[in-house]
Amino acid sequence: MATKPDVFIIESLDFDDEINKRYEGRILSDILALSGKRCEYYYIRTRKELSHVLDFFTNSAYRYLHLSCHGNKTSMGTTLDTISFADFAAIIGPHLNNRRLFLSTCSMSNKDLAKLLIPHSGCYSILGPAENVAFNDAAILWASLYHVMFACDAKVMKPAVLRSNAQSVANLFRVPLNYFARGPVGQEVILRRIVPSV
């Protein structure tokens, strides 16, 4: 299936975040809409909803999946569920062929997850923060990255351009990022740590 260069956002927060209106994904979808970019946004609270909304993502043929949620070095969190990396990879993997995954989560962008996802899903790349990021920084960081990427080329995200712009955003917001991609053979995972320059 041919994909479209548009962003599909799935967000899931805890109840305290909801009360305090820390909807980074919703804010990002509004900013993308302001710039004329097509975007779909879904808020979920459970693992079952995640599976269901991922079907919408596949059917949309959107190329870029952006997840805004809580996470750690071994699992992803929805409002009501904790999902291990193994289960998360089984749920999301079938939906990532020829697509890019952007993780606005704490600690999930690590090699353990990349090794579960990239070799078996056909995912082009995974990009996310290498450490915890404040909500206000995350919203601006992702809006800036998508803005410069689509300004460079509205049709495709070339790996070198994505890494270069990710470096610029990392420098600007002082946030280290992890970028994972398929190796030349397609099975190994390449990590490029994007560290803010001094």
Which CATH class, in words, describes the domain spanning 4-194?
A: alpha beta
Q: Number of C-alpha atoms within 13 angstroms, CB side, residue 183?
A: 9
Distances (CA, A) of 189 to 36, 125, 132, 140, 183: 34, 9, 23, 28, 6
pTM of the model: 0.95
Write the pLDDT tens digit of every residue in 89-112: 999 999 999 999 999 998 899 999
Those residues with Cβ within 8 angstroms of residue 163's Cβ, 6 or more apart along the chain or in another chain: 179, 192, 194
The number of residues in the chain equals 198
Chain-centroid distance of CA 33 in Å reads 18
Unique residue bearing structure tokens 């404040």: 134
Tell me if 85 sits within 8 A of 116, measured CB to CB.
yes
Q: Give me the pLDDT at residue 132, please.
A: 85
Q: What is the mean pLDDT of the chain?
A: 93
